[in-house]
Amino acid sequence: MAKAKRNSEFIIERDKEKCVKCQACVRVCANNVHSFDAGGDTVSSDPLLCVGCHFCEDICPTGALRISRNISDIKANANWSRETVRSITKQAETGGILLTGMGSDVHLKDYFRHIILNAAQVTNPSIDPLREPMELKTFIGSKPGKVEYGFNIAGGRKKYFLKTSLPPQLMLETPIMFSAMSFGSVSLNTLRSIAQAAAEYGTYWNTGEGGLPEELKPFANRAIVQVASGRFGVDIDYLESGAAVEIKIGQGAKPGIGGHLPGEKVSGQISRTRMIPEGTDALSPAPHHDIYSIEDLRQLIYALKEAVCYRKPVGVKIAAVHNVAAIVSGIVRAGADYVAIDGIRGGTGAAPTVIRDNVGIPIELAIAVVDQRLREEGIRHQASVIAAGGFRSSADVIKAIALGADAVYIGTAALVALGCHICQKCYTGKCNWGIATQDPYLTRRLNPEIGARRAFNLLRAWSVEIKEMLGGMGINAIESLRGNREQLRAVGLDEKEREILGIKHAGETW
């Protein structure tokens, strides 16, 4: 058989009692799953086209639709899953790389689920964040090892003045920032929502490698502008307008390869912002072709620092791989003001499935070893460490901070807040929620007023939860938890894992 008929992944159940044939589902599905037959006055659905984004289910006014997974399956087989068979079938038909979107969906040990937090009792009172100040303020940037100051005696009192000048810092009201998502992989409305939420809450967002479109200039002062291997949209105005500059060496979803924006998503505006022809694939090269070694990176870091007159922090983003501790140590010594590390569960708009699921290490381990190594070398203060890669809740965030991160980047969580249901079809450009698309029929679906509200609420909700957990531990400032592994314990991890994470097993006391 040249082309096998494939089973659909999803079943669409329509409750005939509830369906009023308003045809909202017919109109809104970007994949044309539903259709209305006027002659027979029926609405029918083709599940083969369904990607499981649930937009129709959410919009149906009577709740008549239910999208569920299709259990029609091959014979139970521990080694050959249905997905495996399906993937090979596709490759037999196309001869190409299988693409996917969002973060890895295969099960790799979830270390966060094995780490638990402390609470203070009896010997130490817990602190109530509703009554006492609970400080989450975080500073990203290089810090000196000590402070030099002087004083004059005026009116019988000491009047101090600072001699040390602090390198440029980003000041965050919460240790959560929005991760890099390029204009092109996501719609303008998505970035508008995120940028506004970041500006209102007092944190930062990241332009990703898509450049800074004109409409987002009002939020540029809260933007970290990225300089990736394709150097899309990078000119002096771009660098000057942001709050910090980030050199993107790699990302967790696809370590070792460059960014990929399929031609379907390169519309007029994208083409102008990125300065490439419409409809062409935007493939960022795998390495920066001017960074083949650490000394080259140092050169670029300082070139950027010179370009912004040393007034903004310049950081580096890498994927978490085996040698991450040594790599980060090198990056810090190369002059970076911060290092962002993206773990294997990081998301993406398009990546080869096989790389997304098999290359890289979990962020929990990466943070632990990086933090420890930098301390051993006495250089931990020279750069901030930002963790990224699939943070799902405030608990994940607080554990990452306790392991040693200064702050975290959230990407997938922010998109889910905007409506994403992780159908992993971002690379098709047919995102029904108006997020990962440039199609004007679809981009209007995301109202940035609503989006900004929801993203802000996410930041607020997680920040308040973090405060509750901090107070529960008897801590009222986030810097007392940062790197404080005594407040963590492991459950169900072996000795080696605990050694790498640097935490004791639950039940062990101080």
Partner 1 sequence: MNKLCGDLDYRVPSACGITGIMDASGELFSGDSIYASICNMRERGNGLGAGFAAYGIYPDFRDFWCFHIMYQQESAKELTENYLKKYFKIRHFEPIPTRKTASLNRVPILYRYFLVPDKDVQEKMPVQMSDEEVIVSHVMYINRFITDAFVFSSGRNMGIFKGVGHPDEIGEFFRIPDYRGYIWIAHNRFPTNSVGWWGGAHPFGLLDWSVIHNGEISSYGINKRYLENFGYFCTLNTDTEVITYLFDLLVRKHGIDLELAGGIMAAPFWLQIERVKEPETAELLKTLRIVYAQALVNGPFGIIVANQNFMVGLNDRIKLRPLVAASKGSLLYIASEESAIRCVCSEPDMVWMPRAGEPTVCQLRKASGREKVWLKQKETANL
Partner 2 sequence: MQGKHGEMNKTSKKNMKPRRIVLREEYCIGCRLCEVHCITQHSMSRNIIKAYRGTEPRPESGIYFEESGPVSFALQCRHCDDPPCLYSCLTGALYRDRKSGQVLYNKDKCVGCWMCIMSCPLGAIKPDFKNQRAGSKCDLCLEAEFPACVANCPNEAIILLDENGQRMLKNDD
List residues near partner 1 by CB under 8 A.
Answer: 120, 122-125, 127, 132-133, 135, 137, 139, 143-147, 149, 151, 158-162, 164, 166, 169, 375, 378, 380-381, 473-477, 479-487, 508-510
CB closer to partner 1 out of 197 and 401:
401
Minimum distance from residue 48 beta carbon to partner 1 (Å): 54
407/275 Cα distance (integer angstroms): 32
CB closer to partner 2 out of 61 and 95:
61
Pick from 70, 126, 241, 447 the residue near partner 2 by CB under 8 A.
447
239 binds partner 2 (CB under 8 A): no
CA distances from 399 to 7, 380, 470 (A): 41, 19, 11
By a kind-dependent CB cut-off of 5 to 8 A, residue 330 interacts, out of partner 1, partner 2, none, with none
CB closer to partner 2 out of 24 and 464:
24
250/180 Cα distance (integer angstroms): 11
Kindly compute the dihedral angle of the four CA atoms of residues 155, 157, 162, 168, in this order, to the nearest 10 degrees. -100
Neighbours of 70 (CB within 10 A): 15
CB closer to partner 1 out of 83 and 132:
132
Total of chain residues touching partner 2, rule CB under 8 A: 22
By a kind-dependent CB cut-off of 5 to 8 A, residue 110 interacts, out of partner 2, partner 1, none, with none
Terminal Cα distance for the chain, rounded: 66
Which residues in 449-488 contact partner 2 (CB under 8 A)? 449-450
3/78 Cα distance (integer angstroms): 26
CB closer to partner 2 out of 28 and 49:
28
Minimum distance from residue 241 beta carbon to partner 2 (Å): 25
Neighbours of 101 (CB within 10 A): 23
CB closer to partner 2 out of 40 and 440:
440
61 binds partner 2 (CB under 8 A): yes
Minimum distance from residue 334 beta carbon to partner 1 (Å): 21
159 binds partner 2 (CB under 8 A): no
In the block, residue with structure tokens 């969002």 = 102
CB closer to partner 2 out of 272 and 453:
453
CB closer to partner 1 out of 384 and 428:
384
472/362 Cα distance (integer angstroms): 27
By a kind-dependent CB cut-off of 5 to 8 A, residue 269 interacts, out of partner 2, partner 1, none, with none
- Burial 7-44, CB ≥16 within 10 A → b, else e: ebbbebebeeeebeeeebbbebbbbebbeeeeeeeebe
59 binds partner 2 (CB under 8 A): yes
42 binds partner 2 (CB under 8 A): no
Pick from 28, 108, 120, 422 the residue near partner 2 by CB under 8 A.
28
Minimum distance from residue 421 beta carbon to partner 2 (Å): 15
41/51 Cα distance (integer angstroms): 25
By a kind-dependent CB cut-off of 5 to 8 A, residue 481 interacts, out of partner 2, partner 1, none, with partner 1
In the block, residue with structure tokens 């602190």 = 127
CB closer to partner 1 out of 124 and 221:
124
CB closer to partner 1 out of 132 and 278:
132
Minimum distance from residue 45 beta carbon to partner 2 (Å): 16
By a kind-dependent CB cut-off of 5 to 8 A, residue 131 interacts, out of partner 1, partner 2, none, with none
Minimum distance from residue 67 beta carbon to partner 2 (Å): 17
Minimum distance from residue 204 beta carbon to partner 1 (Å): 17
Q: Which residues pair with 314 in a beta bridge?
A: 245
Residues in the chain: 510
CB closer to partner 1 out of 217 and 375:
375
The interface region with partner 2, picked from 119-127, 205-213, 442-450, 484-492 by CB under 8 A, is: 442-450
Pick from 66, 69, 444, 505 the residue near partner 2 by CB under 8 A.
444
Provide φ and ψ at 225, rounded to 5°: -90, 135
Kindly compute the dihedral angle of the four CA atoms of residues 372, 378, 379, 382, in this order, to the nearest 10 degrees. 120
40 binds partner 2 (CB under 8 A): no
Q: Strand 384-388 vs strand 488-490: parallel, antiparallel, or unpaired? A: unpaired
Minimum distance from residue 439 beta carbon to partner 2 (Å): 8
Neighbours of 264 (CB within 10 A): 15
Tell the burial category of 173 from Cβ atoms under 10 Å away from its Cβ (0-12, 13-18, 19+). middle
CA-wise closest residue to 168 among 299, 336, 316, 303? 336
Provide φ and ψ at 233, rounded to 5°: 70, 15
20 binds partner 2 (CB under 8 A): yes
Largest CA distance in the chain: 95
CA-wise closest residue to 365 among 112, 118, 106, 102? 112
- The structure tokens listed for 26 are 């017919």
* Residues lying near partner 2 in the complex (CB under 8 A): 17-18, 20-24, 27-28, 58-59, 61-62, 434, 439-441, 444-445, 447, 449-450
